[in-house]
Amino acid sequence: MKKDLPENIVEDVGMAVVLMGETPEVKSWTVYLVNFKAVPLNNVLISSKGYGEKDGKMVKTSALRHFLGDLTPKSFAGVEAIDPEVFGLTNEYWLSYYIDGVIYDKKFIFLPESIVDENLIRIPFVDKPGVMIK
């Protein structure tokens, strides 16, 4: 039965953890959804959670759900602020949206310690440094 379902491949969409600003004491980060498509994404829903090992113990963050509504072509939308304390965990974002009534979904996973200065790039449309999975 599963083989009979269409394979709706997610392309030209990215999740980015963006450095919004910094002071000598702290850096502030925000997660963004970036739409590179020439068409809007409708009824965008993202669930987020973190999990992994910290200080020798298994930990899990709360699962959060974010409804963004519609996202225009060639644009971006903020999903959530993210605390650098969870960069040592696996941070997972499950994206679902519709285009022309067809549902698409994809899981984006930021591995532990992948959000570091060495991996920063200039995030398109947001025009700030960050780490992106596309």
Sketch out the chain's domains with CATH numbers: 2-127 (2.60.40.10)
CA dihedral 58, 64, 65, 67 (to 10 degrees): -140
The two structure tokens encoding residue 85: 């304390």
The two structure tokens encoding residue 88: 């040592």
Give the C-alpha separation, 134 to 130, whole Å. Answer: 13
pLDDT band at 7 (very low <50, low <70, confident <90, very high): confident
Q: What is the mean pLDDT of residues 47-63?
A: 94
Tell if the pTM clears 0.75, that is, is over it: yes
Q: What is the mean pLDDT of residues 60-82?
A: 97
Report the DSSP beta bridge partners of residue 94. Answer: 47, 107
Q: For the chain, give the percent of residues with pLDDT over 70.
A: 96
Output the CA–CA distances (angstroms, integers) from residue 45 to 1, 39, 48, 94, 134, in the order listed: 25, 17, 10, 8, 17
The residue with greater pLDDT, 58 or 4, is 58
The two structure tokens encoding residue 75: 């644009």
